[in-house]
Amino acid sequence: MMRYAPPVTLLVLALCLAAPVARGQGSADSSRLIPLPPPHKGLSFSVHWDTDIYGNLDGGARRGYATDSVLSLGLGLDSGALGAWRGGQFALGLQAIASTHPSRYVGDIQTLSNLDAPNQRQVSQFWYSQAFGHSLVRAGLMDLNSFFDTNGTASLFTQASFGITPTLTLNVPTATYPDPAWGMMTRFGTVQNGWRAGLFQGNPEDRSSALKGGAMLIGERDWRPSAGDGPQIGIGGWYRRAPAADGPPTSDWGAYANLEQPLPGHHDTVTFLQAGVSPGKINPVPAYLGGGIRFRDVSSTVSDVGFGFARAWIRNHAAETSIEATALMPLFGGCVALQPDVQYIFHPAGIYPNALAIALRLHLTFY
């Protein structure tokens, strides 16, 4: 397993704190740590590393600190740009994860860090997509959350619930980080106004058979403005059926919604809402509500600032509510960014005392 010792992470963070702060937007070359020549037309690749340190200062399960580290490599091919048939896209992703699990100290169920995962090296994506006009079909190894239940405004935050609703991930095995899975999906209509539907593995941890562990169906309707200050809306639902060890197969379902709305006359200030529901009799998290506000292009030293809340109702326990404040600070023209973060968690897992956690995340874009 790939491991990064906490002292190494601390050293990297300290070095970046001493680095000069970028002023304004850097050039295309300065936004990468490795100044390689641009890739061939139709070929794209990326190397990105996120690492952080979290500290639980008070409350929760116990005091302490933990780290996360995720190295991601990506390769993309566009068949049309390479001189072949039009509309074809191929993607390959590799990933190395090392974590000492910050949520073990806080005890929260929503997960303090969206990088918290078992230590592993894996193929994170391997899919082919073919466009037909405004529609497309995609199949392969995928992360469901790259295409469904997404909220671009909330993606700034490090709390995992802001990435995908916990009424899905905390109730049933889901084909998303750290367990992408085999699946296929289609999109009808335009990006601004269309439908999406997908079929994914019901047991993402076992990639040996696509549907042996059951299957998950998911669908979403999207409305996105082509211009102006209009809202972005996504409403979806899912159904999962899987074999049980004893007795008939089990089934479950849920629904979710995402809203992003710029403030009138202020394109760089965007509010967001998230919601999810699932049957309370069989699921540990029957309901979820999240929301917040994000300020973009704040200054030359701080590009984004966000304030958000995430509340998960827990069956037979008090609801867990996380309050998060975070900021993104680009360095070296944007190829390096620091992200300080503060979270206050009310009733972690519904049973622990309120917790206060702080974090510092480092984003590195090598290419």
Tell me phi and psi for residue 156, to 5 degrees. -65, -35
The partner residues of 264 in beta bridges, in order of sequence, read: none
pLDDT value, residue 200: 96
Q: How many domains does the chain have?
A: 1
What domain range is 153 assigned to?
Answer: 6-365
Report which of 357, 361, 358 is spatially closest to residue 337, judged by C-alpha positions: 361
pTM of the model: 0.88
CA distance 94 to 76: 12
Q: Are 61 and 105 in contact, with CB atoms under 8 Å apart?
A: yes
Answer yes or no: is 1 within a domain: no
Answer yes or no: is 193 within a domain: yes
Q: Are 258 and 272 in contact, with CB atoms under 8 Å apart?
A: yes
Report which of 352, 358, 341, 267 is spatially closest to residue 307, judged by C-alpha positions: 341
CA distance 184 to 174: 14
pLDDT value, residue 267: 86
pLDDT value, residue 29: 42
CATH, residue 214: 2.40.160.180
Find the angle CA(42)-CA(47)-CA(52) to the nearest 5 degrees: 150
Question: Any residues with CB less than 8 A from the CB of 244 and at least 6 apart, and which?
Answer: 250
Residue located via tokens 């109730």: 171
- Indicate the SS3 state at residue 146: helix
CA distance 171 to 164: 12
Q: Are 295 and 271 in contact, with CB atoms under 8 Å apart?
A: no
Report which of 146, 123, 13 is spatially closest to residue 69, judged by C-alpha positions: 13
Tell me phi and psi for residue 284, to 5 degrees. -70, -25
pLDDT value, residue 112: 95
CA distance readout (Å), 95 to 91, 218, 348: 13, 25, 30
**DSSP label of 27:** P
Answer yes or no: is 303 within a domain: yes
pLDDT value, residue 206: 86
Answer yes or no: is 234 within a domain: yes
pLDDT value, residue 228: 63
- Indicate the SS3 state at residue 52: strand
CA distance 219 to 366: 35
**Structural element, H or E, at residue 166:** helix 166-169
Residue located via tokens 């984003």: 363
pLDDT value, residue 279: 94
Q: Which long-range contacts (CB under 8 A, 24 or more apart) does 291-297 make?
A: 292/153, 292/154, 292/157, 292/162, 292/324, 293/269, 294/153, 294/154, 294/156, 294/269, 294/270, 295/268, 295/269, 296/268, 296/269, 296/270, 297/268
pLDDT in tens, the chain (367 residues): 334 444 444 444 444 444 443 333 333 344 778 877 666 788 998 999 999 999 999 999 999 999 999 999 999 999 999 989 999 999 999 999 999 999 999 999 999 999 999 999 999 999 999 999 889 999 999 999 999 999 999 999 999 999 999 999 999 999 999 999 999 999 998 877 899 999 999 999 888 777 778 999 999 999 988 766 789 999 999 999 988 777 677 899 999 999 999 998 888 999 999 999 999 889 999 999 999 999 999 998 999 999 999 999 999 999 999 999 999 999 988 899 999 999 999 999 999 999 999 999 999 998 8
